[in-house]
Structure 1
Amino acid sequence: MADFDDLLAANRDYAEKFDDGGFDGVAHAGVAIVTCMDSRIEPLAMLGLGLGDAKIFRNPGGRVTPQAMEALVLGVHLLNVKRILIVPHTRCAVASNTEAELRAKLAESAGQDASWLHLHVVDDQVRALAEDVAKVRSHPFVPEDVKVGGFIYDVDTGLLNQKV
C-alpha cells in the first residue's frame, strides 16, 4: 500500500480544493481527441480547453484502434462530440523504432523474450494519420457533419500541424 502514498497524499490535496464536481459528462466544447499516451502531451491545454470540454482517448502512437473508434462513436452520439482531432506527435517511440527494436528494448528491460509480442509501430506517420482520419470519416456511425482532422503535435514547440 505504501507504494502509492505520495500519489494518494497529492490526491487528498487536490480533493480539498476540488470544486468541479457535478459535470454532466458531455464534451462541452464538442471536441474529441485521439492522441498518444506520451506524458509530454497535455490534450486540453494544447487546445485552450478545460475540464469538461473534450473527450480524450490515449494509446501508444495516437492511433484509431477499435477501442478508440468505439469511444468516438459513443462521443458523437451520446456526448456532444462534433469535432474529432487525431493527434500523433513528433519523436514518438512507436514511430521512430521498428517493431524489432522495440521488442529488443522490452526484452532487455523485462529480462525475458519479447519476440512473440505484437507492437503497433508506425513506419509513416502522415500515411497512418491519413488512414485513421479516413477510417473515422467513413465509419457508418460517424455522421458527415462531424468534422475530423489529422494533426501532428510537436513535442518541442507545442504546436499542432494539420496534415489531413
Structure 2
Amino acid sequence: MTATTEVYKRNAEFAETFKADDLPPFPKMGAAILTCLDPRVDPAHVLGVGLGDAVVIRNTGGRVTDSVIDDLAALGHLAQLASGKDEPPFELLVIQHSDCGAELFAKPDFREGLLAKTGVDVSEIAITDHDEDLRRDLERLRKDPRVPKYITASAHMYHVESGKLRQVEGPARLDA
C-alpha cells in the first residue's frame, strides 16, 4: 500500500462522520502556530489543537522566514477586513523543538555541502541556540513593516523527549 492510498483510506473514514462544514475561516482559539515540519511536532497531537482551532504554519525549524512574514501579513489583513478593527486577530505562538534537523544547518560542513549539492542556502534558518533564535525571530517580526503590529506573539520550546512545552518569551503585542 502506498502512502497516498493510506491517506485516501483515512480521509474516507474521516469523511464518514464529518460534521465540521460550518467552521468559520478564522481560528476558533484565536491562535496561529508556527512550528517545525518535523512529524514529532504535530500541533494536533502535542498541543491538542482540533480542526478549526488554529492556523498552523509549518516549515523547517519553525523559523520566521520571508514566506512566514508574507503569510502573517496576509492573515492579519484578512482578519482586519473581516472585523473592521485594528485589533489582534490572533495570537501567534512560535514553537521550535529539541533534536531539530535545522540544528545541522549550523554546522559549516553540512551547510556548505548542502549548498554545493543543491544550491539551497539554509544559513538563515540554521538553529544555533533555540532560546536566542526564538527571540531573534520575534524581533524580526517586530521590525518587519509587513507584519501588523497589533498581533500578539510569544516564543516556546517543545521537548520531543518529554512532550513538554516551555515558554521562552511570553505573549506581547509586536508594537510593545
Cα deviation 1:48-96 (Å, max 9, x = unaligned) = 4321111110001000111111222222332473311110100001114
**For the structure 1 residues 81 and 100, does the alpha-carbon distance in structure 2 shift closer, same or farther, using more than 3 Å as the test?**
farther
Give the structure 2 partner of residue 61 of structure 1. 61
Q: Hey, what does 1:152 align to over in structure 2?
A: 157
User: Which residue number in structure 2 is paired with residue 116 of structure 1?
Assistant: 119
Q: CA deviation at 1:114?
A: 1.7
What does 1:1-164 align with in structure 2 at a 5 Å threshold? 4-79=4-79, 81-96=89-104, 98=107, 100-101=109-110, 114=117, 116-119=119-122, 120-164=125-169
Distance 1:65 1:46 in 2: 23
Q: Which amino acid aligns with 2:94?
A: I
Residue 68 of structure 1 aligns to which amino acid in structure 2? V
Distance 2:128 2:58 in 1: 19
Contact 1:133/1:148 (8 A) holds in 2 = yes
Paired residue total: 157
Q: Find the aligned partners of 1:144 and 1:37 in 2 and give their Cα distance.
A: 26
The whole-number CA distance in structure 1 between the counterparts of 2:49 and 2:59 is: 20
CA distance in 2, matches of 1:118, 1:131: 19
User: Could you list the runs of 5+ residues in structure 1 that have no partner in the other structure?
Assistant: 107-112
How many angstroms does 1:139 deviate by? 3.2
Counterpart amino acid of 1:18?
F
Asked if 2 retains the 8 angstrom alpha-carbon contact of 1:95 and 1:125, the reply is no
Distance 1:93 1:40 in 2: 12
Rounded to whole Å, the distance in 1 between the matches of 2:13 and 2:49 is 23
Instruction: Determine the C-alpha separation between the residues in 1 that align with 2:112 and 2:37.
Output: 18
Q: State the secondary structure of the residue aligned to 1:88.
A: strand
**Corresponding residue SS for 1:157:** coil
* In structure 2, C-alpha distance between the alignment counterparts of 1:11 and 1:146, rounded to whole Å: 34
Higher strand share: 2
Question: Please, what is the CA RMSD of the aligned residues?
Answer: 2.6
